[in-house]
Structure 1
Amino acid sequence: MRVKRYLVDSMPDALQKIRSELGNDAIIVSTKDVKQGGFLGMFGKKKIEVVAAIDTAAANKAPVQPAPRPVPTIPLDLIKPFMGGSTLGGSTSTDETRPQDTNIFQIKPEVKVQTQAERSRVPETKSTLNEDAILAEMKSMREMIQKLSTASMGSSDSQSLPDMLLKYEARFIDQEVSQEIIKQLIDRCLEELSVDGDFSEEAVRKSLRTQLMSYFPSEQYRSISENTRIVHFVGPTGVGKTTTIAKLAAEQVLKYRHRVGFITSDTYRIAAVEQLNTYANILNIPTEVVFSPKDLSRAFDQLREVDIIFMDTAGRNYRNEMYVSELHTLLQSEGQSETYLVLSMTTKYRDMKAITANFQKFNLDKVILTKFDETDSYGCILNLVHDFGLTFSYIANGQNVPDDIELFKAERIIDLIMGDSFNE
Structure 2
Amino acid sequence: MKMKKYTAVTMTEAMSKVRADLGDDAVILNSKVVYTKGFLGLFKKKTIEVVAGMDKYETPLQPVQPLQKEMISSVKKEEVVSSELKKELSDIKMLVQSMQRPVETKKYTEDIESFLQYLRNHEINEELITRIGDELFEHVNEIDSNKQSLSYRQIATQVLKEALIDVPFGGLSYQKKYINVLGPTGVGKTTTIAKMAAHAVLQKKKKIGFITTDTYRIAAIEQLKTYAGLLQAPVEIVYNSEDFTKAMETYKDFDLVFIDTAGRNYKEVKFVEDVKKLIQFEDNVESYLVLSSTSKEKDMETIIEQFSSFPIEQFIFTKADETNSIGSMINLMIKYNKGLAYYTDGQEVPEDINEASVDSLLKLLFKEYEDERSS
- Shared fold, TM over 0.5: yes
How big is the shift at 1:197?
6.2
* Other-structure match for 1:423: 373
Task: Answer yes or no: is the 8 Å Cα contact 2:320–2:345 preserved in 1.
Answer: yes
Task: Answer yes or no: is the 8 Å Cα contact 1:286–1:303 preserved in 2.
Answer: no
Q: In the alignment, which of 81, 86, 90 is matched to residue 133 of structure 1?
A: 86
- Shift of the 313–125 alpha-carbon distance from structure 1 to 2, 3 Å rule, reads closer
- What letter matches 1:399 in structure 2? Q
* Other-structure match for 2:122: 175
d(CA) in 1 for partners of 2:95, 2:276 = 57
* Other-structure match for 2:310: 362
Instruction: For residues 339-368 of structure 1, give each alpha carbon's deviation from its aligned partner in whole angstroms, at most 9, with x where no partner exists.
Output: 001010100111112212221211210111
How big is the shift at 1:326?
1.8
Instruction: For residues 213-250 of structure 1, give each alpha carbon's deviation from its aligned partner in whole angstroms, at most 9, with x where no partner exists.
Output: 22334897611112220000011111011111111111
* Other-structure match for 2:298: 350
Output the TM-score relative to the length of structure 2. Answer: 0.71
Instruction: For residues 130-168 of structure 1, give each alpha carbon's deviation from its aligned partner in whole angstroms, at most 9, with x where no partner exists.
Output: 433332343455577689x54xx56xx66x123332222
- Shift of the 192–293 alpha-carbon distance from structure 1 to 2, 3 Å rule, reads farther
* Other-structure match for 2:333: 385
1:207 correspondence with 2:160: no
Query: Which one has the largest radius of gyration?
Result: 1
How big is the shift at 1:270?
3.7
- Shift of the 229–131 alpha-carbon distance from structure 1 to 2, 3 Å rule, reads same
Instruction: Say which is worse superposed, 348-357 or 206-215, in terms of deviation.
Output: 206-215
1:317 correspondence with 2:265: yes
What pairs up with 1:180-191 in 2 under 5 angstroms?
180-191=127-138
Name the SS for the 1:365 alignment partner. Answer: strand
d(CA) in 2 for partners of 1:334, 1:238 = 27
User: Over the residues paired in the alignment, what is the CA RMSD in angstroms?
Assistant: 3.0
Name the SS for the 1:352 alignment partner. Answer: helix
Q: In the alignment, which of 85, 109, 119 is matched to residue 162 of structure 1?
A: 109
Instruction: For residues 264-292 of structure 1, give each alpha carbon's deviation from its aligned partner in whole angstroms, at most 9, with x where no partner exists.
Output: 11112242211111111121111111111
d(CA) in 1 for partners of 2:235, 2:276 = 21
Unaligned runs of at least 5 residues, structure 2:
1-26, 28-75
1:276 correspondence with 2:229: no
- Shift of the 321–377 alpha-carbon distance from structure 1 to 2, 3 Å rule, reads closer
Name the SS for the 1:169 alignment partner. Answer: helix
Sequence identity, in percent? 32
* Other-structure match for 1:371: 319
What pairs up with 1:77-88 in 2 under 5 angstroms?
none
d(CA) in 1 for partners of 2:206, 2:273 = 32
* Other-structure match for 1:228: 176
How big is the shift at 1:333?
4.7
Task: Answer yes or no: is the 8 Å Cα contact 1:219–1:409 preserved in 2.
Answer: no
d(CA) in 1 for partners of 2:282, 2:292 = 29
- What letter matches 2:117 in structure 1? A
Instruction: For residues 296-328 of structure 1, give each alpha carbon's deviation from its aligned partner in whole angstroms, at most 9, with x where no partner exists.
Output: 110101112211000011121212222112212
Name the SS for the 2:115 alignment partner. Answer: helix
- Shift of the 146–377 alpha-carbon distance from structure 1 to 2, 3 Å rule, reads farther
What pairs up with 1:18-417 in 2 under 5 angstroms?
129-139=82-92, 141=94, 149-150=101-102, 160-191=107-138, 194-196=141-143, 202-217=150-165, 222-333=170-281, 336-417=284-365
* Other-structure match for 2:22: none
How big is the shift at 1:170?
1.3
Task: Answer yes or no: is the 8 Å Cα contact 2:210–2:257 preserved in 1.
Answer: yes
- What letter matches 2:125 in structure 1? S
- Shift of the 314–423 alpha-carbon distance from structure 1 to 2, 3 Å rule, reads same
How big is the shift at 1:414?
1.7
